[in-house]
């Protein structure tokens, strides 16, 4: 057992940091880009049904965000605890963490099965009374929630691979799921090759099938390739201590992402006071920005196990180097996104069959919101640093302040001007506040945690 772990430990603790970060992050970034692509393609096909269909799928985003928040947040906790256990050579704890992570994924599915059965209609009715949007939304979101077992299987087994540094396999599972979705979208939505035309429901079914296949492949790859972890369910009972440690890191991450759902829901309510087209524009923005933000999340997913491992191993120099490289790459990626959104907003909206009305609202929206990209890359990476070092509550506080205390109230007050273009300025304003808080917490965590990494080991020696 120990022989199989040595190369992986050497990789995380010995390989030059820049090369290690790139080798672990690049597969994740590519798979996240494919994920972003399938999100966009999904909406491009749905927009060809009509604008109400696009609005319905856009309004579903808060619930879908919650689903992802629960899966990704739990995954962050599993990832950090498992990588730290491997760094400390506590292989029994690493195995227990993995098994309890799989159990928590099953609990997450049950929560959203119930949401799909009972909460979808009230959720849509709280946002709109447009009959066609309600019908489209009910079809789409019920299928996505009730069949979310594929999503949660995919989440947990990909995180197990990330925890041991095998991110190239995660690229395969995520990429496969996304490509299957992209292929099936037009077939199910428009009814090709003898398949009945299913419209919005077809988009949901294509999404679910992609997730299920990716989840199955994730299980198979873990069983065959992930030799550092043994998944043994015989006589399994949930371990409260392990679950507590997973959620110590995971809950702030879940809350942080769930806050995004609340913010999106609130923004949709504000924008619907202008027109349903404004809400559709906001939905399109979210799809497009994922193409910029997803690679940053991929970078984070590669960074977190390296930070957690070297934190556990007491290697301060490698920990700091990993942070510096990650921040530099994130800011550079965001700068590219900013340029694209500033120069090509009309071309981006034309992908979604945008009407003149949608272009009139959408072009200034992309240009104004993308100003916030200048600061967002730094803030996102630092948020993941806080989580990896066991201070996820800092990330949560910044997220709550940015989205609920600043962004939504500012958007509401700007909406009172009667000009929808002013609403978009809430993004750069909120991001400036986020930047100042992130810098403050980074200084605190440096003096409280990073500065002292490895001191115990030096004292022992």
Question: Which residues, in sequence order, are CB contacts of 73 under 8 Å at separation 6+?
Answer: 250, 251, 252, 253, 254, 255, 256, 257
Distances (CA, A) of 84 to 45, 148, 421: 43, 29, 46
Residue written as token pair 């939504």 = 408
pTM above 0.75, yes or no: yes
Average pLDDT over residues 112-121: 95
pLDDT > 50? residue 1: no
Residue of 291 and 392 predicted with greater confidence: 291
Q: Is the dihedral of CA 288, 28, 107, 245 positive or negative?
A: negative
Residue 277's pLDDT band (cuts 50, 70, 90): very high
pLDDT > 80? residue 56: yes
Structure tokens at 98: 């993995």
Tell me the C-alpha distance between 92 and 229, whole Å: 9
Considering the chain, what is the average pLDDT of its residues?
Answer: 88
Q: Is 153 helix (H, G, I), strand (E, B) or coil?
A: helix
pLDDT > 50? residue 310: yes
Contact 106, 80 (CB under 8 A): no
- Dihedral-angle region of residue 421 (phi above 0 means left; psi in -120 to 50 means alpha; beta otherwise): alpha
Question: Which residues, in sequence order, are CB contacts of 341 under 8 Å at separation 6+?
Answer: 288, 292, 348, 366, 367, 369, 370, 373
Average pLDDT over residues 18-26: 88
Share of residues in the chain with pLDDT > 70 (%): 95
Lowest mean pLDDT among 57-66, 247-256, 292-301, 369-378: 247-256
Per-residue model confidence (pLDDT) at position 183: 93
Tell me the C-alpha distance between 96 and 219, whole Å: 17
Tell me the C-alpha distance between 298 and 29, whole Å: 4
pLDDT > 60? residue 172: yes
Q: How many CA atoms lie within 13 A of 414 on its CB side?
A: 18
Structure tokens at 173: 């599972």
Tell me the C-alpha distance between 295 and 286, whole Å: 14
Tell me the C-alpha distance between 209 and 215, whole Å: 10
380-438 per-position pLDDT tens digit: 999 989 888 878 788 889 989 999 999 999 999 999 999 999 999 999 999 999 999 99
Residue written as token pair 């296949």 = 213
Distances (CA, A) of 391 to 77, 118, 247: 12, 35, 12
Average pLDDT over residues 326-352: 94
| 138-142 contacts, C-beta under 8 A, 24 or more apart | 139/199, 139/200, 139/201, 139/204, 140/56, 140/57, 140/60, 140/200, 140/201, 140/203, 140/204, 141/60, 141/63, 141/64, 141/116, 141/204, 142/116, 142/117, 142/204
Q: Is 438 helix (H, G, I), strand (E, B) or coil?
A: helix
Contact 282, 271 (CB under 8 A): yes
Structure tokens at 68: 């992802």
Tell me the C-alpha distance between 328 and 377, whole Å: 9
């Amino acid at each position: 057992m120990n022989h199989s772990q040595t190369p992986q430990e050497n990789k995380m603790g010995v390989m030059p940091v820049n090369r290690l970060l790139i080798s672990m992050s690049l597969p994740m970034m590519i798979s996240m880009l494919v994920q972003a692509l399938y999100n966009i393609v999904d909406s491009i096909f749905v927009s060809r049904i009509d604008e109400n269909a696009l609005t319905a799928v856009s309004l579903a985003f808060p619930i879908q965000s919650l689903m992802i928040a629960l899966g990704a947040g739990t995954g962050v906790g599993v990832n950090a605890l498992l990588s730290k256990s491997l760094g400390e050579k506590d292989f029994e704890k690493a195995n227990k963490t993995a098994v309890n992570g799989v159990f928590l994924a099953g609990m997450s599915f049950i929560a959203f099965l119930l949401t799909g059965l009972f909460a979808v209609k009230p959720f849509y009715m709280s946002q709109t009374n447009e009959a066609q949007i309600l019908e489209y939304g009910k079809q789409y979101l019920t299928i996505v929630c009730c069949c979310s077992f594929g999503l949660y299987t995919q989440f947990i087994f990909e995180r197990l691979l990330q925890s041991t540094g095998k991110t190239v396999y995660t690229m395969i599972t995520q990429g496969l799921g996304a490509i299957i979705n992209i292929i099936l979208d037009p077939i199910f939505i428009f009814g090709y090759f003898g398949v009945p035309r299913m419209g919005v429901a077809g988009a949901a079914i294509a999404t679910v099938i992609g997730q299920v296949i990716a989840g199955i492949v994730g299980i198979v790859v873990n069983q065959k390739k992930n030799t550092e972890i043994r998944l043994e369910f015989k006589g399994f009972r949930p371990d409260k201590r392990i679950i507590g440690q997973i959620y110590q890191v995971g809950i702030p991450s879940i809350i942080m992402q769930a806050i995004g759902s609340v913010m999106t829901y609130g923004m949709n309510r504000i924008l619907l006071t202008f027109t349903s087209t404004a809400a559709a524009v906001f939905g399109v923005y979210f799809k497009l920005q994922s193409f910029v933000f997803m690679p940053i999340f991929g970078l984070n997913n590669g960074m977190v196990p390296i930070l957690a491992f070297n934190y556990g191993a007491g290697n301060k120099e490698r920990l700091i180097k990993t942070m510096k490289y990650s921040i530099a790459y994130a800011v550079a990626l965001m700068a590219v996104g900013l340029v694209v959104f500033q120069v090509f907003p009309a071309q981006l909206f034309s992908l979604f069959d945008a009407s003149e009305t949608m272009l009139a609202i959408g072009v200034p929206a992309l240009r104004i919101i993308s100003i916030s990209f200048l600061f967002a890359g730094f803030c996102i990476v630092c948020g993941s640093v806080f989580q990896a070092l066991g201070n996820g509550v800092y990330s949560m506080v910044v997220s709550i302040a940015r989205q609920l205390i600043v962004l939504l109230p500012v958007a509401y007050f700007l909406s009172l001007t009667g000009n929808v273009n002013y609403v978009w300025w809430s993004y750069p304003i909120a991001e400036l506040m986020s930047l100042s808080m992130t810098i403050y917490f980074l200084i605190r965590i440096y003096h409280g945690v990073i500065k002292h990494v490895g001191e115990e080991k030096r004292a022992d020696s």
